[in-house]
Amino acid sequence: MTATQEPAAQQEIGRDRRRKEDQRLITGRTRWTDNITLPGMLHLAMVRSPFPHARITNIDTAAAKAATNVVAVYTGADLGEGQGACINAWPVVTDQVTPAHLPMPIDRVAFAGETVAVVVARSAAAARDAAELVEVDYEELPAALDLKEAAAAHENGGAIAHPDLGTNVSAVWRFDSAEAGTGGDVEQAIAEARENGIVIEREYRQQRLIPAFMEPRSTVVDPTGEQITVWSATQVPHILRFAMAATTGVPESKIRVIAPDVGGGFGGKLQQTPEEMITFAVARRLGKPVKFTETRSESLLTAHHGRDQWQRLTLAATKEGRVTGLKVDLLADLGAYVAIVGGGVPVLGAFMFNAIYKFPAYQFQTTNVLTNKTWTDAYRGAGRPEATFAIERLMDELANELGKDPLEVRELNWITHEEFPFTTVAGLEYDSGNYEAATARAKEMFGYDALRAEQAERRARGDKVQLGLGVSTFTEMCGLAPSRVLGSLNYGAGGWEHAEVRMLATGKVEVVTGASAHGQGHETAFSQIAADRLGVPFEDVEVLHGDTQISHKGLDTYGSRSLVVGGEALVRALDKVIDKARPVAAHLLEAAADDLEFSGGRFTVKGTDQGMAIQEIATAVFAAHNLPDGMEPSLDSEATYDPVNFNYPHGTHLCAVEVDTETGQVKLRKYVCCDDIGVVINPLIVAGQVHGGLVQGIAQALWEEAVYDENGTLVTGSFVDYLLPTAADTISFEIDHTTSPSTTNSLGTKGVGEAGTIASTPAVVNAVVDALRPYGVHDVAMPCTPERVWRAINEGSPGGETTEAAMPHFDETEGGVQ
Amino acid sequence: MIPAAFEYVAPTSVEEALAALAEHGDDAKIIAGGQSLLPVLRMRLNAPEWVIDLGRIDSLRGVRDEGDHLVIGAMTTHHDVGQDPLVHEHALLISKAITHLADAQVRHRGTFGGALAHADPAGDLGAPARALGATFVAQGPGGSREISAEDFFVDLFETALSDDEILTAVKVPKYDGWGATYEKFVRIAHQWPIVAVAATVRMDGDTIAEARIGLTNMGSTPLRAQAAEQALVGQPATEEGVAAAAALAAEGTNPPSDLNGDADYRRHLATVLTRRAVLSAAGRG
């Protein structure tokens, strides 16, 4: 078999298959972790710190222990080292400052929401009731809350998140193209531009976001078998098993982790959480099955947050608008602990600020800072949305400075399609792409020229509703990741993926993948791939995943890797099955193996009508009555694939907004995108990924922000104040694709899970700023609230950080009787 | 999200409910549609020992015509009030406000009286009630009394109801032929209003004969924009005619500052939304 798809009677790849998994996922009649109930199972409730930084001086658990149906109450001191630890898998520098992270601290809390005691009871209600009886005495400590202040605290005596460490700076990671030999000297480029060119200097805020997956996290641990079984709502069952084993001393072979159906993650379930470790520890201590399911409030408060950066940016260009250098200086808020990827998130952005443009010189630095807030880690795009936002905003600023159309300035600087493969100033080799084609198509769909004309007309008329057009010509690196690259970055694991194919006696096929779906549609897409490759019906393929005893090898799902890495592993395993079947077919058909061709699921003898279906061969191999001499009676095959490169989806996103200049309200008018994600396996799944991704990115631009007050309390602690959009807040998107197949995997696919989120945020903000250019506005802080937009128009203020309290909507004390 | 344990009683008459209230007093909370109380209980912001459910008292449900006014039973759901032809004909402003109230699920569970008695200044019904000069009927151990909308709302989550009283109905005078608009300003659809303006207008040809305007979330209670109302009388229903009067809408208000906007921004919004609401109510928007 060659690596490309052959025309089949009913080609599955490219087909709009409705998802196999939707019936059970949408109705909820399935194995969500919280649906799992075991005989004699106990329930946990966490007692959490209300203070962002405090010494625990006493914990009185007597009343809670005495409560009805309470089995035990444990503090950090009770569980001690036996609880294991939460690991950081990516120390980005060798001298990274990494606070020890006990799942339940013994003497000091470092963020509001940290667990200080756990109640074990016979029902969830009894556990929750008793948790209120645990008396904890705290001695408050100064809290490091503001990112900029925290970054300088070691110099000016400010609050230190972990006083023993003496600094809040966890790491300073740097890339310089002159030092790396991938480009020139950025300081020189900037100096030259100051003399005789254009320098754009900006500071942008990437506000803190909350992943807000649909299913709150839940963990069930059953210690009663030979292996300890852990069910958890996680994206990363394999990584979780490794981390549990590595930090508790329980042999990896004695732990089975199952991620049953998981209701979303967006990176938010790419974690080894304190709650998982506490549940594991309690189950082992009591020898009984236990369950912990968090509330939505706990989820918003303690599940890791995302983004949270300050970005200082300097872009140098010639007077004609050709970019000559880019300097990026980030402050990244890690929160209270360095999470599993943690400080690696800004580093993932390091290779993307230069984006699709031919910068001759580039420098990136991130200062990763600890604060007394909820920890941060991967959130849909992880480092790349931040980078894309910065560069796409800067390109619009450059266009404005030049008085040119923003697309024209981009075209002047982007890599042309003839130039692929192209090695960027950040050292990556982009394998394929066609920015011209995607942009031309997006412009056509958008009606770009007509909208520009309408904008001019509204401006001339002084319309109270102004039109703004925003551009984002993004690319991203996805398909994490070549193991050698990860090694060079000091990441603690590889980036390969594993797949197995089992040919059952009845002709059905089991596909096992190490990727761990949590809503993406792997079961459908992987079935399509296997059906095409083997020539078996789509319905006959069963996809198994998310259980470390079934899918014993894998690196799970994140970074748009499942299809481009896991899919390639699957293709290779499928090809091995065909290779194994060929000599059996030859033997049974009494032909030479070289005379056989495989197509549409059948081996046929060339030039004859003699043939055998792959299912018949599977049955024959099962019986093993008549196999070639010495042949092992099995077609089952496996493959582990380590990618040779990332891959690089790209696209042109165009957004039109209407800004009500009287109120500052921003209304989406039109959004089109043309994404190049290579070969599409299932257009319906892709459309879903793009739509959802767009909304998540638009939400960063307009609505979402995790806000802490000066006491370190999360003000946006419920969906009353953390503004998650619904369908009512969005418009119909128009999406299309150009296709430049990836050259580094057999199917020519590229990742799509994060593309919409990465691309859309700057498109929207660029549109808002574009609408306000006549008012002298050059920035509006995210989220672009109506108030911020209104103040930008009237006061020229871009709007700073939000620190206000939330408006109460529920009576916490007495008040109205009804 | 598990509430603390509580005892539950669901009387079938107002008298029984009052008796339960008298018996349990401070330890009791009344539940109507539960759309505000249940989140409070589930988040354990409050833990009453008794919950008295009015849901089985049929006499508290429904809308009826009593000549010069309508009577809306306190336990009538938002959905039922919103769909009621009498309300649409005689108190259009309430119908309009309900189309903006929360979402369909909440409108089918939440009740007219429950929301008003909750007295959230960001609730969508207080401003229409004030604009229309509604009267609140409270029943207590000593019988029934009527409270004007002006007096009913005392402070944030605080009404003139005594601890031993139950809101049984709201009387709304008829505004036949008046135009009405509820202008609600939100960032996302299911949010509480940052500011909203409830306006109802009686036209005399092209001129505004009378206007009544209620303000949502412009202070600790729903308010009436009386200065604007007075200034609108006799004005032509044009952008210019209305703008000057609408500019008075925030007079005497004391709006909150929070995540969604500072007080000065809310004052500004009140003037813009009032202009739009009045023009729209006058059929010119």
pLDDT score of A320 more than 70: yes
pLDDT at B247: 97
pLDDT cut 90: percent of chain B above it: 96
Does A131 sit behind a cis peptide bond, omega within 30 degrees of 0 on the bond before it?
no
Topology of the domain covering B179-281? Enolase-like; domain 1 (3.30.390)
What mean pLDDT, rounded, does chain B reach? 97
B63-173: same fold as B7-53?
no
Are A657 and A767 within 8 A, CB to CB? yes
User: Which residues does chain B have within 8 Å of residue A666's beta carbon, measured at their own beta carbons?
Assistant: none
Residues 6+ apart with CB under 8 A from A741: A432, A678, A679, A748, A749
Average pLDDT over residues A561-587: 97
**Tokens for A316?**
């140098």
CA gap A211, A573 in Å, rounded: 34
CA A673 – CA A469 distance, rounded (Å): 13
In the Cβ-directed half-sphere of A728, how many Cα atoms lie within 13 Å?
12
Please state, in angstroms and as integers, the Cα–Cα distance from residue A577 to each residue in A510, A595, A653, A801, following that order: 12, 18, 41, 57
Average pLDDT estimate for A311-329: 98
CA geometry: angle at B147 spanning B145 and B151, to 5°?
150
A243/A255 Cα distance (integer angstroms): 11
The percentage of residues in chain A with a pLDDT greater than 70, rounded to a whole number, is 98
Phi and psi angles of residue A789, each rounded to the nearest 5 degrees, phi first: -65, -45
Q: Which stretches of chain B are DSSP H helices?
A: 14-24, 37-42, 78-83, 85-90, 92-99, 104-109, 112-118, 126-131, 149-152, 226-232, 239-246, 263-281
DSSP secondary-structure letter at A567? I
Name the average pLDDT for chain A.
96
The complex scores an ipTM of 0.97
Contact of B273 with B281, CB cutoff 8 Å? no
3-class DSSP state for residue A319? coil
Query: Quick check: B166 and B18 in contact, CB under 8 A?
Result: yes
Closest approach of A727 to chain B, Cα-based (Å):
9
Q: What confidence score (pLDDT) does residue A755 get? A: 95
Q: B244 CB near a chain A CB, below 8 Å?
A: no
The answer, yes or no, to whether residue A816 has pLDDT greater than 70, is: no
B201 contacts B178 by C-beta, under 8 angstroms? yes
Compare CB distances from A723 to B30, B117, B191 and report the shortest one's residue. Answer: B191
pLDDT in tens, A149-163: 999 999 999 999 999
pLDDT at A675: 98
Give the range among A363-372, A394-403, A575-584, B41-50 with minimum mean pLDDT: B41-50
From chain B, the residues in CB contact with A806 under 8 A are 258-259
Q: Which secondary structure element, helix H or strand E, spans residue A460, and what is its range?
A: helix A448-461
pLDDT at B267 over 70: yes
DSSP code of A563?
I
Does the pLDDT value for residue A802 go beyond 90? Answer: no
% of residues, chain A, pLDDT over 90: 95
A299, A211 Cβ separation under 8 angstroms: no
User: How would CATH label the architecture of A22-29+496-641?
Assistant: 2-Layer Sandwich (3.30)
Question: pLDDT band at A10, cuts 50/70/90?
Answer: confident
CATH for B63-173 (3.30.465.10, 1.10.150.20, 3.40.50.620, 3.40.30.10)? 3.30.465.10
CB A558 within 8 A of CB A270: yes
The band of B1, judged by pLDDT with boundaries at 50, 70 and 90, is confident
Q: Which residue of A has its CA nearest to B262?
A: A787
Q: Which of A726, A805, A816 sits opposite B258 (nearest CB)?
A: A805
Contacts of A811 in chain B (CB under 8 A): 36, 40, 45-46, 118, 157
In this structure, the strands spanning A465-475 and B135-140 are unpaired
- The pLDDT of A464-489, averaged and rounded, is 95
B109 pLDDT above the threshold of 80: yes
Among A534, A643, A631, A555, smallest CA distance to A587 is for A631
Decide the pairing of beta strands B166-173 and B158-159: unpaired
The structural architecture, per CATH, of the domain A143-430 is 2-Layer Sandwich (3.30)
Q: What are the CA-CA distances from residue B2 to residues A439, A757, B38, B94, B281 (Å)?
A: 52, 34, 10, 34, 44
From the list B277, B278, B253, the residue with the least C-alpha distance to B265 is B253
Task: Give the per-residue pLDDT at A9.
Answer: 57
Mean pLDDT of A110-120: 98
Per-residue pLDDT band at A812 (split at 50, 70, 90): low
Question: Could you state, in order of their start, the residue ranges of all structural domains in chain B?
Answer: 7-53, 63-173, 179-281
User: A48: which 2 tokens?
Assistant: 């959490």
Is the pLDDT assigned to residue A411 strictly greater than 90?
Answer: yes
Query: Would you call A816 and B159 a contact, using CB atoms and an 8 Å cutoff?
Result: yes
Tens-place pLDDT, residues A481-507: 999 999 999 999 999 999 999 999 999
Please, are residues B62 and B22 in contact by the beta-carbon 8 Å criterion?
A: no
- How sure is the predictor about A1, in pLDDT bands with cuts at 50, 70 and 90? very low
Tell me if the bond preceding A421 is cis, omega within 30° of 0: yes
- Cα B193–Cα B194–Cα B199 angle in degrees, nearest 5: 65
Contact at 8 Å (CB) between A757 and A690? no
In this structure, are residues A318 and A193 in contact, taking their beta carbons and an 8 Å threshold? yes
Average pLDDT, stretch B88-115?
97
- The per-residue pLDDT for range A627-674, each reduced to its tens digit, is 999 999 999 999 999 999 999 999 999 999 999 999 999 999 999 999
Least CA distance to B6: which residue of chain A? A129
Contact between A91 and A161 (Cβ < 8 Å):
no
Nearest by CB: A703 against B119, B165, B187: B187
pLDDT tens figures, B193-207: 999 999 999 999 999
Nearest-neighbour CA in chain A from B177: distance (Å): 30
Q: What residues of A are in contact with residue B261 (Cβ under 8 Å)? A: 785-787
Helix (H, G, I), strand (E, B) or coil at A174: strand
- What is the fold of B7-53? 3.30.43
User: Could you give the 3-state DSSP secondary structure of residue A702?
Assistant: helix
Taking only Cα atoms into account, the Rg of chain B, rounded to an integer number of angstroms, comes to 19
Which of B29, B187, B258 has its CB closest to that of A723?
B187
Q: Using 50, 70 and 90 to split pLDDT, how confident is the model at A804?
A: confident
Q: Measured between beta carbons, which residues in chain B are less than 8 angstroms from residue A725?
A: 188
Domain extent listing, chain A: 22-29+496-641, 143-430
Q: Say which amino acid occupies A17.
A: R
Q: Which of B2, B188, B194 sits opposite A124 (nearest CB)?
A: B2
B43 to A810: CB separation less than 8 angstroms, yes or no: yes
C-alpha separations of A424 from A354, A357, A384, A415, A420 in Å: 8, 8, 16, 9, 11
* Structure confidence by residue, pLDDT tens digits, A46-105: 999 999 999 999 999 999 999 999 999 999 999 998 999 999 999 999 999 999 999 999
Cis previous bond, B255, omega within 30: no
Q: Do A815 and B158 count as a contact with CB atoms less than 8 A apart? A: yes
Evaluate if residue A185 carries a pLDDT over 60: yes
Give the residue-averaged pLDDT of B67-90: 98
Count of helices and strands (H, E) across chain B: 12, 14
CA distances from B231 to A24, B82, B127, B160 (A): 60, 30, 19, 30
CA A183 to chain centre: 30
**pLDDT per position as a tens digit, A729-759:** 999 999 999 999 999 999 999 999 999 999 9
